[in-house]
Amino acid sequence: MIPYIIKVAVVLAGCLAFYKILLHKETFYKINRYVLIACLVISFGLPLLPMPQQWSFRKAEQTLIPGKSPEQPVINKTEVKGDTQLPATEQPVSATPVAKFSVQKLINWIFLFYWFGVIAFAINFLLQVIALLYRAYARPVIIDGAIRIVEVEGDKAPCSFGNNIFISCR
């Protein structure tokens, strides 16, 4: 049930992006309604259709030969060198490791991406707070009780941060 809901959400998000980019400002409201209803039908119906194998991220199931498993080593019965016969040696089948797509890897990448964004925005926030505090204590001020009125040069809109009010001193 959860994969179906995720697929519906992805298709619905794509339809919403299509609507917002192309049809948001159109005044043909009747057509817009039909497009939105069609998007709902498509988003709930499309995940129910079977996916062709060539479009799928999953690998096709491999058919196994009865009596053989892919993990069994290949055994050479005898090796003949000249007149002597050497004992049998085992040579394991070397399988190249294939990077498999898994939901756990996807979740790990999403968490890494999320925490990268959190750290980037936290650094940006700290730099802005440092810049505001520098402005608040490096400029001339008028103290009115607990409030500090900071005079800022230039044509800037007044704003406040904490107990500091920044105003233009024209």
Q: Which residue, among 31, 9, 8, has the nearest Cα to 19 in the 3D structure?
A: 31
pLDDT digits (tens, 9 = 90+) for 105-157: 888 889 899 999 999 999 999 999 998 888 888 888 889 889 999 988 888 88
Mean pLDDT, the chain, rounded, equals 79
Q: For residue 155, which of 139, 133, 170 has the smallest C-alpha distance? A: 170
Backbone angles phi, psi at 75, to 5 degrees: -110, 125
Helices 29-45 and 2-18: crossing angle in degrees, nearest 10, is 160
Among 13-27, 51-65, 115-129, the range scoring the smallest mean pLDDT is 51-65
pLDDT at 153: 84
Q: Which residue has 């049998």 as its token pair?
A: 88
**Across 40-55, average pLDDT:** 83
